[in-house]
Amino acid sequence: MHRESHAIERVGWLRAAILGANDGIVSTASLIAGVAAAGTAPQAILLTGTAGLVAGAMSMAAGEYVSVSSQGDAEKADIAQEKHELATDPDFELEELTQIYQQRGLSRPLAEEVARELTAHNALDSHLRDELGLNHAMRARPVQAAAASAASFSVGAALPLGVVFLVSGPSLPWAVSGASLTFLAALGALGAWAGNAPVARAVARVSFWGAFAMAATIAIGSLFDAAVG
């Protein structure tokens, strides 16, 4: 049987991976640029960036796991409710499914026939899909989401952190910012390609907010350096 591949099937792990990598680049680059602009010693800059990578990866994993687990709990509650309703009032559930298909454009007789056929085949799946909008591609997967977020954050954060080993001195904030904007543009293009979305819009979006975040932290670091100096 021919099976088409759609971008929606990748949305769970793709969203977590893109979010994690983007956050890793922006937060770590901003952190490094800010402390470097404040005139911090190279060893302290490296320590700050490394701590940001580890803390950020753990935070992303925990946050993603808790968030997606909450989604999963809601899905389980809805599934249990549908099972109960199908067991206790199947006629009402059949009528509910019929009306759903009528609202989608089917005539009453055809809607009744479709509802009966699908109920006989798999009543629960039919209600989860057509009444609640739940399908296997969109189901909550907390462990997968947490692992994708932590791994992608670490990879993203490692990119600006690597610049610290190559550049030092007053030019470091600008070198980190420039390199990170390049990384963000590449990430935006990759995410758009994987999700079959317009590339230019994705690149512009991530680059703008990344530049804004890094400019803000550089300004704060520079003000702190001037105040201390």
The two tokens of residue 160 are 């600006």
* pLDDT reported for residue 14: 67
57-83 pLDDT, tens digit each = 999 889 888 988 888 888 888 889 888
Q: What is the pTM of this model?
A: 0.70
* Entry field: residues in the chain: 229
Query: What pLDDT digit, counting tens, does each position of 181-211 carry?
Result: 999 998 888 877 876 778 888 888 888 988 8
Residue 50: is its pLDDT beyond 90?
yes
Please give the share of the chain, as a percent, with pLDDT higher than 70.
88
What confidence tier does 20 reach under pLDDT thresholds 50, 70, 90?
confident
Q: What is the DSSP letter of 136?
A: G
Report residue 228's pLDDT band, with 50, 70 and 90 as the boundaries: very low
Residue 197 Ramachandran class (φ > 0 left, ψ -120 to 50 alpha, else beta): beta
Instruction: Say how many CA atoms lie within 13 Å of 148 toward its Cβ.
Output: 19
108-148 pLDDT tens trace: 999 899 999 988 998 888 888 888 777 665 666 788 888 88
Res 4: pLDDT? 47
In this structure, is the dihedral angle defined by the CA atoms of residues 9, 10, 13 and 16, taken in order, positive or negative?
A: negative
Q: Could you give the angle at the alpha carbon of 142 between the alpha carbons of 56 and 130, nearest 5°?
A: 135
